[in-house]
Amino acid sequence: MDRAEANLLRRGRFSEPGRLYLLTTVTHARKPLFQDLRTARLVIRELRRSERLGACRSLAWVLMPDHLHWLVELRAVTLSSLMRQFKSRSGTALCKAGVSPGQVWQRGFHDRALRQDDDVRKVARYIIANPLRAGLVAEIGDYPHWDAVWLTDSLHNSL
């Protein structure tokens, strides 16, 4: 697909509040910026801020050394706005912290709208297992940069 076709696809991107989307974005030149705990935590803080600002509900996510997979329920913004704001805030946070003076994220992102018949937990498990498939850890509990609402919900339900 050439650049013109990709731009047409982006223009045709459909954002539906209440719909679930799997979003993926990568670092500029696929630099492994998030191997560093402090850097990863700065980005995670901005990811969580997106939810607090009412842009989305985060269902599951994993921050890999050079990319992010994020399963969201879209709220009051478009997909493009959600990602633009997140990337801008996280890039600014890294710049202010002196971590990355240049571009943090590649332009654009990949999105997939989940269908009604998609097993959301299966999609979440696939996302969260990314560090295992990449050979970064032997057990998912050993990887620090992920979360899922089902983990939090089960903790609250057991209390």
What CATH number does residue 86 fall under?
Answer: 3.30.70.1290
Six token digits for residue 77? 């913004």
C-alpha to C-alpha distance for 75 and 158, rounded to whole angstroms: 28
Query: How many domains does the chain contain in total?
Result: 1
pLDDT at 101: 72
Q: Which helix (H) or strand (E) holds 38?
A: helix 37-52
Q: What is the pLDDT of residues 111-120, one digit of tens each?
A: 999 999 999 9
Containing domain of residue 113, as a range?
3-158
- Within 13 Å, how many C-alpha atoms sit on residue 128's CB side? 19
Please tell me the distance from the alpha carbon of residue 151 to that of residue 156, in angstroms, as a whole number.
9
Can you read off the two tokens belonging to residue 27? 């670092």
For the sheet containing 67-74, what is the strand order? 110-113, 20-26, 67-74, 56-63, 146-148
Structure token digits, residue 125:
């498990």
Which pLDDT score, from 0 to 100, does residue 150 have?
A: 82
Please give the pLDDT value at position 154. Answer: 47
Q: pLDDT tens track of the chain, all 159 residues?
A: 445 444 444 555 789 999 999 999 999 999 999 999 999 999 999 999 999 999 999 999 999 999 999 999 999 899 999 999 999 999 999 999 988 778 999 999 999 999 999 999 999 999 999 999 999 999 999 999 999 998 655 433 433
Q: Which two tokens stand for residue 68?
A: 């992010």
28: left (phi over 0), alpha (psi -120 to 50) or beta: beta
